């Protein structure tokens, strides 16, 4: 024990270079002769090296801790750290993701907007002819009949599709005005009055640009009307004029009342008025009258947005259309009424007189 | 963001010479100059002030060892080197804690410093073992050994400090302590 202690002290002094030259020589002699001593020297050397490194690192860390303690680390953190606001942080951390998401949303909204703009141009003007329910079924029937080739009862199964609008008489001898879009593509036309009587009619004039069609009642059961109670207004009608219409959005006549809200129609079309009158599919071709019983226009369509306005072809263009019909294509002259029998009457009396001259236009298409 | 701080940064050459000369002044400038950069990096990558302190001090130790070993080439910018070392250390810690290590916000260029850190890790393991051995020694051995090897007290001082009747008793005590410490250090 004593000897080991002395040996250790000598080894340490030897490694630290504290031995005198003579002592060192003697020790090296001992070391080379005794492997046990040599091993002790090697292991102690390793130990001292590790201890030295350890000491140096401890010292360095102590110094750094002192410097660190002197610094205003909290202040630096506030300046350099993440922003206290969660939103800003989120933005900083997910900048890339947000950018990608934003571009995606932008792209989507552009596509959707583009689509909406297209659909607005194409379809926001809704023509008010009524598709009568059986269309689809009857067409299906037709297809079925053809496919099965069982021509059991062609009269019953070949019911043509029906569309409906409104029309009104413009002369006592059986000329009726409606919209071109109501009758376009029709195979046969019937006019049904409020009493339920139907008359066959044929188109004698169409003007697709102004959406006007003139039909002639061509039915042996039809005898001339009594004198028309209304006149066609030649002049312009101003904003605010109270107007009403009678039409067939359903199987019975419906009155709609309102006022002229603009002197131009859809997309500022000067052929039409814009009117604040409730109209529905089936109202197309209905007469638009003012309080004095003058026809100021003909209902032709509406803006298809939920609270969209209605539009009516101006009477001026109706007159133009009537006058533009070549006289020789008519076998009877269109005599527009010059006497107004509605003026000064209450609305109920006006409608009562009017309804004999307003028809449901039934259109049969294959 | 570092425009203002850059003016207070010591030159790379100054740092290398200062470290070789064990200059406290250099250490002070180095610490104050570069710590904010690392603080910003750590704070913005899921760490706190203490993490920043640990990581930065570790990177200074790596730098000291490299410069003292004569390995540091002035061709790589000191700033870039420190940043790269800290970044590597921090990524490793994040991975150990199973935190996500993608999406790291970088503030500087990055060097490959894996070799230096491997050497450092080896040394770190050795010194951790030494630390554990010392802690496992218990009193009064721990203090005697620390006083003798770390604080460079003489056996005479130690004998007086611990109230030994003579220096030989103190030497015997130190011998026993050292034997135990070496046993733990080499075998533990």
pLDDT digits (tens, 9 = 90+) for A317-339: 888 888 888 777 676 777 777 77
What is the percent of chain A where pLDDT is above 70?
82
Reported confidence tier of residue A298, pLDDT bands at 50, 70, 90: very high
Instruction: Note whether A284 and A128 are within 8 A (CB).
Output: yes
CB < 8 Å from A in window 3-22 of B: none
Better pLDDT: A359 or A18:
A359
Decide if A167 is inside a domain: yes
What is the percent of chain B where pLDDT is above 90?
10
Tokens coding B187? 């075998």
Chain B touched by A53 (CB under 8 Å): yes
Instruction: Note whether A180 and A317 are within 8 A (CB).
Output: no
Could you tell me which chain B residue has the CA closest to the CA of A54? B127
**Mean pLDDT over residues A59-87, rounded?**
81
Asked whether residue A112 falls in the same domain as residue A147, the answer is no
If we measure between CA atoms, which residue out of A12, A57, A67 comes closest to residue B131? A57
CB < 8 Å from B in window 312-351 of A: none
Neighbours of A150 (CB within 10 A): 10
Better pLDDT: A201 or A227:
A201
Asked whether residue A276 falls in the same domain as residue A178, the answer is yes
Distance from B43 to chain A by nearest Cα, in Å?
5
- A7 CB neighbours in chain B (<8 A) are none
Q: Are A63 and B123 an interchain contact pair (Cβ–Cβ within 8 Å)? A: no
Chain B touched by A97 (CB under 8 Å): no
Which range is most confident: A165-174, A324-333, B154-163?
A: A165-174
CA distances from A175 to A202, A286, A358, A359, B177 (A): 10, 14, 12, 12, 129
Chain A touched by B185 (CB under 8 Å): yes
Chain A touched by B91 (CB under 8 Å): no
Q: Are B40 and A68 an interchain contact pair (Cβ–Cβ within 8 Å)? A: no
Decide if A238 is inside a domain: yes
**Mean pLDDT over residues A200-206, rounded?**
89
**Does the pLDDT of residue A147 top 60, yes or no?**
no
With tokens 């409606």, the residue in question is A178
Reported confidence tier of residue A168, pLDDT bands at 50, 70, 90: very high
Q: Are B127 and A92 an interchain contact pair (Cβ–Cβ within 8 Å)? A: no
- B173 CB neighbours in chain A (<8 A) are none
**Does the pLDDT of residue A173 top 70, yes or no?**
yes
Residue A240 belongs to domain with CATH number: 2.40.10.120
Res A132: pLDDT: 57
**Mean pLDDT over residues A224-252, rounded?**
87
- A43 CB neighbours in chain B (<8 A) are 182, 186
As a whole number of Å, the end-to-end CA separation of chain A is 125
Decide if A80 is inside a domain: no
Hey, is A213 helix, strand or coil?
A: strand
Res B52: pLDDT: 92
**Mean pLDDT over residues B91-120, rounded?**
78
Reported confidence tier of residue A146, pLDDT bands at 50, 70, 90: very low
Across the A/B interface, how many CB contacts are shorter than 8 Å? 82
What is the Cα–Cα distance from A311 to A301, expressed in whole angstroms? Answer: 5
Decide if A76 is inside a domain: no
Q: Name A222's Cβ contacts closer than 8 Å, sequence gap at least 6.
A: A174, A199
Asked whether residue A23 falls in the same domain as residue A111, the answer is no
Task: List the single residue in B28, B39, B171 with the smallest CB-CB distance to A5.
Answer: B171
Task: List the single residue in B27, B43, B105 with the smallest CB-CB distance to A63.
Answer: B27
Q: Which of A43, A70, A72, A76 to mutate to test the interface with B (most CBs of B within 10 A)?
A: A76
Mean pLDDT of the residues in chain B: 82
**Does the pLDDT of residue B13 top 80, yes or no?**
yes
Asked whether residue A256 falls in the same domain as residue A148, the answer is yes
Could you tell me which chain A residue has the CA closest to the CA of B5? A76
Asked whether residue A160 falls in the same domain as residue A304, the answer is yes
- A57 CB neighbours in chain B (<8 A) are 61, 127
Reported confidence tier of residue A84, pLDDT bands at 50, 70, 90: low
Better pLDDT: A152 or A71:
A71
Distance from A109 to chain B by nearest Cα, in Å?
29
**Does the pLDDT of residue A53 top 90, yes or no?**
no
Domain count, chain A: 3
**Mean pLDDT over residues A159-167, rounded?**
71
Domain span at A94: 86-123
Decide if A109 is inside a domain: yes
Asked whether residue A90 falls in the same domain as residue A162, the answer is no
Q: Which residues lie across from A125 on neighbouring strands?
A: A303
**Does the pLDDT of residue A30 top 90, yes or no?**
no
Res B54: pLDDT: 92
If we measure between CA atoms, which residue out of A228, A355, A240 comes closest to residue A290? A240
Per-residue DSSP letters for chain B? --HHHHTTPPPHHHHHHHHHTT-HHHHHHHHHHHHHHHHHHHHTTT--HHHHHHHHHHHHHHHHHHHHTT---TTS-HHHHHHHHHHHHHHHHHHHTT---SS----S-----HHHHHHHHHHHHHHHHHHHHHHHH-TTHHHHHIIIIIS---HHHHHHHHT-SSHHHHHHHHHHHHHHHHHHHHH-
Q: Are B175 and A82 an interchain contact pair (Cβ–Cβ within 8 Å)? A: no
Asked whether residue A38 falls in the same domain as residue A138, the answer is no
Res A83: pLDDT: 66
What is the Cα–Cα distance from A229 to A168, expressed in whole angstroms? Answer: 12
Asked whether residue A301 falls in the same domain as residue A159, the answer is yes
Distance from B87 to chain A by nearest Cα, in Å?
16
- A55 CB neighbours in chain B (<8 A) are 149-150
Chain B touched by A44 (CB under 8 Å): yes
Distance from A31 to chain B by nearest Cα, in Å?
20
Better pLDDT: A135 or A242:
A242
**Mean pLDDT over residues A299-308, rounded?**
76
If we measure between CA atoms, which residue out of A254, A193, A225, A220 comes closest to residue A336? A225
**Does the pLDDT of residue A139 top 70, yes or no?**
no
Decide if A79 is inside a domain: no
Res A122: pLDDT: 46
Asked whether residue A152 falls in the same domain as residue A273, the answer is yes
What is the percent of chain A where pLDDT is above 90?
11
Res A92: pLDDT: 65
Asked whether residue A100 falls in the same domain as residue A12, the answer is no
Specify the pTM: 0.47
Asked whether residue A53 falls in the same domain as residue A188, the answer is no
Point out the least confidently predicted range of A27-31, A344-348, B5-9: B5-9
Reported confidence tier of residue A297, pLDDT bands at 50, 70, 90: very high
Could you tell me which chain A residue has the CA closest to the CA of B149? A51
Better pLDDT: B103 or B88:
B88
Decide if A78 is inside a domain: no
**Does the pLDDT of residue B96 top 90, yes or no?**
no
Res B74: pLDDT: 63
What is the Cα–Cα distance from B174 to B158, expressed in whole angstroms? Answer: 10
Decide if A235 is inside a domain: yes
A92, containing H or E segment = helix A86-93
Mean pLDDT of the residues in chain A: 79
Positions of E strands within A72-113: none
Q: Are B39 and A92 an interchain contact pair (Cβ–Cβ within 8 Å)? A: no
**Mean pLDDT over residues B160-177, rounded?**
83
Reported confidence tier of residue B145, pLDDT bands at 50, 70, 90: confident
Tens of pLDDT, residue by residue over B17-57, are 888 888 888 899 889 989 999 998 888 888 888 999 999 99
| Orientation of helix A35-70 relative to helix B167-187, angle to 10° | 90
Tens of pLDDT, residue by residue over A40-51, are 888 888 888 888
CB < 8 Å from A in window 96-125 of B: 103, 105, 123
Reported confidence tier of residue A82, pLDDT bands at 50, 70, 90: confident
Q: Which of A6, A45, A48, A60 to mutate to test the interface with B (most CBs of B within 10 A)?
A: A60
Point out the least confidently predicted range of A120-124, A218-222, B26-30: A120-124
Task: List the single residue in A5, A64, A77 with the smallest CB-CB distance to B60.
Answer: A64
Better pLDDT: A151 or B50:
B50
With tokens 């019953």, the residue in question is A156
**Does the pLDDT of residue A228 top 60, yes or no?**
yes
What is the Cα–Cα distance from B91 to B102, expressed in whole angstroms? Answer: 9
Q: Are B49 and A73 an interchain contact pair (Cβ–Cβ within 8 Å)? A: yes
Tokens coding A69? 């303690």
- B36 CB neighbours in chain A (<8 A) are 76, 80
CA distances from A120 to A110, A182, A273, A284, B153 (A): 15, 22, 20, 21, 94
Q: What is the β-pairing status of strands A175-178 and A254-262?
A: unpaired
Chain B touched by A66 (CB under 8 Å): no
Reported confidence tier of residue A138, pLDDT bands at 50, 70, 90: very low
Q: Can you give the C-alpha Rg of chain B in angstroms? A: 21
Instruction: Note whether A253 and A312 are within 8 A (CB).
Output: no
Res A123: pLDDT: 46
Reported confidence tier of residue A141, pLDDT bands at 50, 70, 90: very low
Q: Are B31 and A68 an interchain contact pair (Cβ–Cβ within 8 Å)? A: yes
Reported confidence tier of residue A152, pLDDT bands at 50, 70, 90: very low
Asked whether residue A317 falls in the same domain as residue A234, the answer is yes
Q: Are B1 and A55 an interchain contact pair (Cβ–Cβ within 8 Å)? A: no
């Amino acid at each position: 024990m004593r000897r080991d202690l002395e040996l250790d002290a000598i080894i340490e002094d030897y490694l630290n270079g504290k031995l005198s030259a003579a002592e060192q020589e003697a020790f090296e002699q001992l070391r080379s002769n005794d492997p046990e001593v040599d091993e002790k020297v090697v292991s102690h050397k390793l130990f001292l090296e590790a201890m030295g490194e350890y000491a140096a690192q401890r010292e360095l860390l102590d110094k750094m801790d002192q410097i660190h303690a002197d610094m205003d680390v909290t202040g630096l953190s506030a300046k350099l750290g993440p922003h206290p606001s969660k939103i800003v942080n989120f933005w900083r951390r997910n900048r890339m993701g947000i950018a990608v998401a934003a571009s995606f949303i932008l792209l989507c909204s552009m596509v959707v907007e583009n689509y909406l703009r297209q659909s607005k141009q194409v379809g926001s003007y809704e023509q008010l002819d009524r598709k009568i329910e059986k269309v689809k079924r009857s067409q299906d029937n037709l297809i079925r009949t053809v496919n099965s080739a069982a021509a059991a009862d062609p009269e019953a199964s070949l019911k043509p599709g029906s569309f409906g609008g409104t029309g009104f008489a413009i002369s006592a001898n059986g000329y009726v005005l409606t919209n071109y879009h109501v009758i376009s593509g029709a195979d046969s036309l019937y006019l049904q009055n409020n009493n339920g009587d139907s008359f066959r009619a044929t188109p004698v004039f169409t003007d697709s640009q102004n959406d006007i069609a003139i039909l002639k009642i061509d039915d042996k059961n039809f005898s001339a009307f009594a004198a028309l109670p209304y006149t066609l207004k030649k002049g312009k009608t101003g904003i605010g004029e109270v107007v009403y219409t009678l039409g067939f959005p359903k199987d019975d006549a419906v009155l709609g009342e309102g006022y002229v809200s603009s002197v131009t129609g859809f997309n500022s079309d000067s052929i039409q008025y814009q009117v604040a009158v409730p109209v529905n599919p089936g109202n197309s071709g209905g007469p638009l009258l003012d309080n004095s019983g003058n026809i100021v226009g003909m209902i032709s369509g509406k803006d298809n947005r939920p609270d969209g306005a209605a539009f009516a072809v101006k009477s001026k263009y109706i007159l133009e259309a009537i006058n533009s019909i070549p006289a020789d294509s008519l076998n009877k002259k269109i005599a527009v009424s010059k006497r107004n029998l509605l003026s000064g009457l209450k609305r109920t009396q006006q409608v009562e007189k009017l309804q004999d001259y307003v028809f449901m236009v039934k259109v049969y298409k294959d | 963001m570092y425009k203002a701080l850059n003016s207070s940064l010591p030159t790379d050459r100054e740092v290398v010479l200062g470290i070789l000369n064990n200059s406290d002044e250099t250490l002070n400038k180095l610490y104050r100059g570069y710590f904010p950069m690392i603080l910003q990096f750590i704070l913005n990558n899921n760490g706190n002030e203490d993490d920043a302190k640990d990581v930065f001090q570790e990177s200074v130790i790596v730098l000291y060892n490299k410069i003292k070993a004569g390995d540091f080439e002035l061709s790589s910018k000191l700033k870039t080197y420190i940043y790269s070392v800290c970044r590597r250390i921090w990524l490793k810690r994040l991975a150990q804690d199973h935190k996500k290590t993608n999406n790291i916000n970088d503030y500087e260029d990055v060097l490959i410093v894996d070799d230096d850190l491997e050497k450092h890790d080896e040394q770190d393991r050795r010194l951790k073992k030494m630390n554990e051995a010392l802690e496992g020694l218990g009193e009064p051995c721990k203090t005697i050994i620390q006083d003798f090897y770390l604080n460079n007290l003489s056996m005479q001082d130690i004998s007086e400090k611990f109230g030994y009747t003579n220096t030989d008793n103190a030497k015997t005590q130190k011998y026993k302590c050292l034997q135990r410490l070496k046993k733990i250090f080499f075998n533990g």
